[in-house]
Amino acid sequence: MKIVMKYLLFYFILLAAICLIVLYAIHLHRKHKKSVRPRNKINLEPFFYTAPVFILLVLMFGYPLLNSFIMAFENYKLTEPDRIYINGFDNFTKIFSDSDFLLIAKNSLIYVVLCVLFQFIFGMILALALRKKFRGRGVYQAIVFLPWALSGFVVGLLFRWSFNGEYGIVNDVLLKMHVIQDRIPWLGTPGYSLLVVIIAMIWMGIPFFAIMILAALQSIPKEIYEAADMDGCGAIKKFFSITIPFIKPTIIMTLLLRTIWIFNSFDLIVVITGGGPANTSQTIPSYMYTMAFSSYDFGMAAALGVVLIMVLGLYSIFFLKMTKYSQAGDF
Partner 1 sequence: MKQKTRKTLMLIGRVLILTFFLLAVILPIYWMVITSLKTAPEIINAQSITYFPKVTTMENYASLFEMYNYGQLLENSLIVSITSGICVTLLSILGGYGMARYDFHGKNSLVLLALVTQMIPSILVIIPLYIIFSQIGLINTRFGLFLFYLMSNLPFCVITMRSFFERFPHSLEEAARIDGCTKVQSMFKVVLPIMTPGIIAVFIFAFIGAWNELIAGTVFINTPDVWTIPVGLKSLIGKYSVNWGVLMAGGVLALLPTAIMFGFMQKYVVEGLTAGAVKE
**Region 151-190 residues binding partner 1, contact defined as CB under 8 A:** 151-154, 157-162, 164, 166-167, 169, 172
CA distance linking residue 107 with residue 109, whole number of Å: 5
CB of 224 to partner 1, least distance (A): 18
What are the backbone angles phi and psi of residue 75, rounded to the nearest 5°? -85, 95
Task: Closer to partner 1 by CB, 100 or 276: give it.
Answer: 276
Task: Closer to partner 1 by CB, 7 or 240: give it.
Answer: 7
Residue 253 interacting with partner 1 (CB under 8 A): yes
The separation between CA 159 and the C-alpha centre of its own chain, rounded to angstroms, equals 21
- CB neighbours (10 Å) of residue 310? 10
Radius of gyration of the chain (CA): 25
Residue 145 interacting with partner 1 (CB under 8 A): yes
CA distance linking residue 184 with residue 114, whole number of Å: 22
Residue 293 interacting with partner 1 (CB under 8 A): yes
CB 267 within 8 A of CB 48: no
In sequence order, what are the residues at sequence separation of 6 or more whose Cβ sits closer than 8 angstroms to the Cβ of residue 156? 200, 267, 268, 270, 271, 272
Which residue from 110, 309, 320, 328 is in contact with partner 1, where contact means CB under 8 A?
Answer: 309
Residue 318 interacting with partner 1 (CB under 8 A): no
CA distance linking residue 10 with residue 12, whole number of Å: 6
Which residues, in sequence order, are bridge partners of residue 77? 297
Residue 266 interacting with partner 1 (CB under 8 A): yes
Choose the stretch contacting partner 1; rule: CB under 8 A; options: 93-101, 110-118, 238-246, 297-305. Answer: 297-305
Residue 47 interacting with partner 1 (CB under 8 A): yes
Choose the stretch contacting partner 1; rule: CB under 8 A; options: 92-100, 105-113, 223-231, 267-275. Answer: 267-275
Which residue from 257, 310, 314, 317 is in contact with partner 1, where contact means CB under 8 A?
Answer: 257
Task: Closer to partner 1 by CB, 48 or 85: give it.
Answer: 48
CB of 104 to partner 1, least distance (A): 14
Selection from 259, 257, 258, 254 nearest residue 215 by Cα: 254
Residues 229-248 contacting partner 1, CB under 8 A: none
CB 193 within 8 A of CB 276: yes
Residue 26 interacting with partner 1 (CB under 8 A): yes
Which residue from 15, 16, 60, 121 is in contact with partner 1, where contact means CB under 8 A?
Answer: 60
CA distance linking residue 20 with residue 15, whole number of Å: 9
Residue 311 interacting with partner 1 (CB under 8 A): no
